[in-house]
Amino acid sequence: MKCVIVDTSRSPHAKLRPVPVNSVKLTDKFWAPRLEKLRKVTLPSQYEILERTGRIENFRVATKKTGKISWRIADDSDVYKWLEAASLSLAYEYDDELAELVNSLVKDIASAQEEDGYLFTYYSIEKRNMRWTNLRDMHELYCAGHLFQAAIAHYRATGERSLLRVAMKFADHIASIFGLGKRLGVPGHPEIEMALVELYRTTEKIEYLELAKFFIEERGKGLVGGSVYLIDHKPFRELDEIVGHAVRALYLNCGATDVYMETGDVSLLNVLRKLWHNMTTKKMYITGGVGSRYQGEAFGEDYELPNLRAYAETCAAIANIMWNWRMLLALGEAKFTDVLELAMYNGALAGISLDGKYYFYVNPLANRGKHRRQPWFTCACCPTNIIRLLASIPGYIYSTSDKGIWIHLYVANEALIDFRGYEVKITQRTNYPWSGDVEVIVEPEITDEFSLFFRIPGWSEDVEVRVNGKPINGKGTPGTYLEVKRTWRRGDRVEIDIPMSIKFIVSNPRVLCNACRVAIKRGPIVYCLEQVDNPECDVWDMVLIPEKRLIAKYKPDILGGIVAIEGIAAVIDYDVWKDKLYLPLEEVSMKMREVKLTAIPYYAWANREPGPMITWIKSLLH
């Protein structure tokens, strides 16, 4: 079976087609160990927690129709997301013990389904008469969407249809209730929209696509209260800025993008472009995190990007990746890959500890040392979401089109890609993201003329590309795909040199909390200062100075192996302030002393002893 994340192979208005997770074998030192840890540590430990907290037991209780359902918000979805991640992991690398857990869980879920197809454990016993009575607050449709996605992943990974039949039966039940000429309603939490489109792609049942369209078209008519928080304040086609609960907004955009790829509805695409531009130019953190407000887990006003009080939910960064992946499939524009990569290496990856057992729900960009990853949460959406992302990493690296093969991410791997009815083996050799030197070996089954599209990252400059040792004519423009069209033969070799200089990034001046501050970035990695590496002073007091050069240094023995940034900074002499909160300007002394500076990747913070952390650093550089 071809286990793809989003199947656009027959989508008439998608520019790119996916390459399956199980067609790519990672050989790198960054992602491959994480997938191994996912399989051996994270998935088993999460399953044990799902059992211990009653989430899996709920399905057994629902089957027996006796007992008590122990319920927290959206518990069924946590089980479904685990199952989706486990299925993707099995597709990538089969594991007997994991397969046994998956098979057992599939049976528990299938047994809990009602005769009419309904499946929501909270309403399975005492509250059966409450079905579909509170779409705003209860998560029936949201959980259904996650069931559909788990079932699709399970089917694509194993070829086994039992859970897919459960999903179809539930989808048919929902379609019999909601739709034009039936009951009006939309989910309080979008998710089912993209799941229904993917179910349509898998089964070719047009009713599922029509239902997805219905939920998008009816949103904004006040059916779940009309609030901005729920993105129900105006119809989708009238939205001109990204607002509301960040995950809800981005999942809704995922569904609308999927509908566009099937229907070609340009009015949807125009809105999506407008929302993407608003988010990436005014409402996105440098890490690719989104949703700045604790209140409502929501997008704030334009340029409202606080650091210490950043919410930046892990799920929101993952949703950002999911939406940009769909926009990339739809349009083939590198700017979407740039955002996907940014969120993947920074905002999302920070959501899980290096040992694979602890999680962030909230991802601040500054902290005094009290914010630590947790083994679980009452609302466990983030732990079960990050494992879906990790399991899907191999599926984000390549795509195909009629013209050729697209390389989105530079990751050491071996891939066997179906193209024009024959197989092309692509081998990447690289130490990305620590090095920008990439070697791509092309081995088509037959000699043929086609294009390879190499992403030139938007953050890059002076990229050089050579084919079989000879420079190609012209250089790739940052933020685009460089098309290399030629007759490819076995053993052809492409070398890409992407310089990775240390860059100081400044915010738009309207981001007030970043005034006179800079962030450090190298390649796709955003850096931060953590107290454990900088014992000479409080990292919040450190100041970057122009004449002191920073260097990148590989450190294999800390934080799983990282490139750290080292150099000299300064710290202000605070003696003049003593117990004073305010002083006249003429009395302020700016005496400074030099200190050593070490910056680490943002994703790796809070894996050692607690202490202050900061991403936006005081600066005399501008």
Residue 386 corresponds to which tokens in the numbers above?
């990050």
Would residue 381 show up in a list of annotated catalytic residues for this protein?
yes
Question: Which residues are paired to 293 by β-bridges?
Answer: 298
Q: Comparing C-alpha atoms, which of 328, 467, 514, 387 is closest to residue 83?
A: 387
Cα-flanking dihedrals φ and ψ of residue 293, to 5°?
-100, 135
Residues 6+ apart with CB under 8 A from 480: 334, 456
Catalytic choice (3, 381, 382, 528): 381
Residues 6+ apart with CB under 8 A from 431: 28, 29, 412, 437
In one letter, which amino acid is 215?
Answer: F
Q: Comparing C-alpha atoms, which of 63, 248, 249 is closest to residue 142?
A: 248
Would residue 140 show up in a list of annotated catalytic residues for this protein?
no
What is the rounded distance in angstroms from the CA atom of residue 5 to the CA atom of residue 194? 12
Pairing, β 502-505 against β 17-18: unpaired
Strands (E), 366-412: 366-367, 398-400, 404-407
Question: What is the helix (H) or strand (E) element at residue 433, kind and residue range?
Answer: none
What is the rounded distance in angstroms from the CA atom of residue 296 to the CA atom of residue 313? 11
Task: Yes or no: say if 599 and 505 are a contact pair by the CB < 8 Å rule.
Answer: no
Strands (E), 421-516: 422-430, 437-444, 448-456, 464-467, 470-471, 480-488, 492-497, 502-505
The interaxial angle of helices 206-218 and 192-203, nearest 10 deg, is: 160
Angle at 37 between CA 36 and CA 39, to 5 degrees: 65
What is the rounded distance in angstroms from the CA atom of residue 251 to the CA atom of residue 189? 9
Q: Helix or strand or coil: residue 170?
A: helix
What is the rounded distance in angstroms from the CA atom of residue 473 to the CA atom of residue 481? 15
Task: Yes or no: say if 336 and 396 are a contact pair by the CB < 8 Å rule.
Answer: no
Residue 33 corresponds to which tokens in the numbers above?
């160990």
Burial class (CB in 10 A: 0-12, 13-18, 19+), 210: middle
Residues 6+ apart with CB under 8 A from 439: 428, 429, 430, 493, 494, 495, 496
Q: Comparing C-alpha atoms, which of 333, 315, 188, 328 is closest to residue 246?
A: 315
Cis ω before 433 (30° cut-off from 0): yes
What is the rounded distance in angstroms from the CA atom of residue 375 to the CA atom of residue 433? 28
Catalytic choice (191, 297, 313, 341): 297
Q: Comparing C-alpha atoms, which of 533, 551, 553, 552 is closest to residue 595?
A: 533
Residues in the chain: 622
Catalytic positions, please?
297, 381
